[in-house]
Amino acid sequence: MTRAVIALGSNIRPHRNVPAGVAALRRHPDIAVLGVSPVYETAPVGGGDQPAFHNAAALIDTPLTPSSLRAVLRMIESGAGRVRTADKNAPRTLDLDIVLFEGFAGEVAGTVIPDPGLGTLVHLTIPAADVAPDWVCGPEGNTLADLAGSLSPSHQEMRSIVSRDLQPADRRNVRYAAEALMEPVTDEVYDADEEARVRATLEYLGEDPDREGLLRTPLRVAKAMDFLTSGYEMTLEDVINNAIFESDADEMVLVKDIEFYSLCEHHMLPFFGKAAVAYLPDGKIIGLSKIARIVDMFARRLQVQERLTNQIADAVAQALDPHGVAVVLEGSHFCMMMRGVQKQGSSMVTSAIRGGFRDNPGTRAEFLDLARG
């Protein structure tokens, strides 16, 4: 997998087309979207009598070559109705360009990578710096953050369209607590294909998708599902974000009563509960909030509780290489409460025990007592 930064732009129905472009990137099987910048409104390059542009950037992982990735981007553009002309500054429904591609410098079918506009064109530089501030560009060793900071004040007169941010402010933890912007705005299209599928489901149920109460339901469901399954787009590296510190602590560290919410992969019904996560440090500790974020990274996927428990334990072990890891989850499952046997008071307890917690019965008993207390 190789990292790349993709620039997105539109000045024809941009409220629809920029979010739709991001959604198309997320859906592609060879593209993992790691983060998306806010959307900025900028004046068109070259002037002229045309609407302002909406610009953003996406940080991705991909196994594709630069040439293959460019072909995918052109296909997404075409699907959005983009028709390329000789005028490179002409209005467009959607523009997707490779700004940076890790380990590559050169030209792909007329596209220069890294983009020569980095450091001079505000609509490229600032969104790219939002998603990859530490990316080093050019022989002088400047980062994207350096390039964005060097732009003159006049260049920085670009308006952030706060109501159109595609991600929360903490873009290193993709869509963490991204409840903001769940409600639709006028004429917004978030994911046209998913919205069409939800609409078809409503019709299958005998409902009228055009009645007042359901009119924007397809969009709301598309946004909700994107959020509830956002764990697929998170990586352990991005979630931890370098929050691992040296320490001589050698006693158990326990974080408990961590709420989690997930979707059962068998029926796509919710299950929810609380997690207790403990580790025995071996020279390293982790930032407190990162334990909860690791839980969320795996919970926000289609899951079974048994696998979720083990994935959390394995992630903590991978991040810290501690003497031991212990995880207990207690969850209530709607697939058992709302359907099937319909047992409302039932719950499921799962555990994953590693290293010193498995080898030392006293340590394991101490963890279980603290987790229950």
Domain CATH code at residue 314: 3.30.1130.10
Among the listed residues 28, 207, 330, 335, the single catalytic one is: 335
Q: What is the mean pLDDT of the chain?
A: 85
Distance, in Å, from the CA atom of 341 to the CA atom of 125, rounded to the nearest integer, reads 56
- Return the pLDDT at 180: 40
Instruction: Please give the Cα distance from 212 to 331 (Å, whole number).
Output: 36
111 lies in some domain: yes
Sign of CA dihedral 290, 296, 301, 306: positive
Tokens of 223: 């946004």
Sign of CA dihedral 215, 8, 33, 277: negative
Same domain membership, residue 158 and residue 214: no
What DSSP designation does 39 have?
P
Residue 35 lies in a domain: yes
Residue 175 inside a domain? The answer is no
Q: Provide the whole-model pTM.
A: 0.58
- Supply the range of the domain harboring residue 198: 192-231
323 as an active site residue: the answer is no
Give the CA angle between residues 81, 192, 35 to the nearest 5°.
90
- Beta bridge partners of residue 40, listed in sequence order: 55, 160
Find residue 168's DSSP bridge partners. none
**210-264 pLDDT tens trace:** 999 998 899 889 888 888 888 887 889 888 988 999 999 989 999 999 999 999 9
137 labelled catalytic: no
Q: Return d(Cα 259, Cα 264) in angstroms, integer.
A: 16
Give catalytic status of residue 265 as yes or no. yes
Q: Residue 167: is its pLDDT beyond 70?
A: no
205 pLDDT tier (thresholds 50, 70, 90): very high
195 included as an active-site residue: no
- Does the pLDDT of residue 175 top 50, yes or no? no
Do 16 and 102 meet the contact criterion of CB atoms below 8 Å apart? no
Confidence label for 122 from pLDDT (cuts 50, 70 and 90): confident
Find all residues with CB under 8 Å of 138, minimum gap 6, and list them: 114, 119
Query: Does residue 327 sit in the same domain as residue 361?
Result: yes
Q: Establish if 186 belongs to a structural domain.
A: no
Residue 243, both tokens: 């929050």
Indicate whether 353 pLDDT > 60.
yes
Whether residue 170 is predicted with pLDDT greater than 60 in this model: the reply is no
CB 79 within 8 A of CB 16: no
Residue 170 falls within a domain, yes or no?
no
Q: Are strands 95-101 and 40-42 parallel, antiparallel or unpaired?
A: unpaired
Residue 305 falls in the annotated catalytic set: yes
Considering the domain boundaries, does residue 246 fall inside one? yes
Residue 165's pLDDT is 41
Catalytic one among 137, 264, 303, 323? 264
Q: 211 with 302, same domain?
A: no
CA distance 212 to 210: 6
**Claim to verify: residue 30 and residue 144 sit in the same structural domain:** yes
276 burial type by CB count under 10 A (0-12 exposed, 13-18 middle, 19+ buried): buried
Q: Concatenated DSSP letters for 44-62?
A: PTT--SSPPEEEEEEEEEE
Residue 157 among the catalytic residues? no
Q: Which of 203, 265, 306, 318 is catalytic?
A: 265
Domain count, the chain: 3
Residues near 358 by beta carbon (within 8 Å), at least 6 away in sequence: 324, 364
Given 167, 303, 305, 311, the catalytic residue: 305
> Would you call 155 a catalytic residue per the annotation?
no
333, 342, 344, 366: the active-site residue? 333
In terms of domains, do 218 and 254 share one? Answer: no
CA distances (Å), origin 214, targets 29, 164, 202, 217: 30, 23, 9, 5
User: Exactly one of 183, 266, 306, 318 is catalytic; which is it?
Assistant: 266
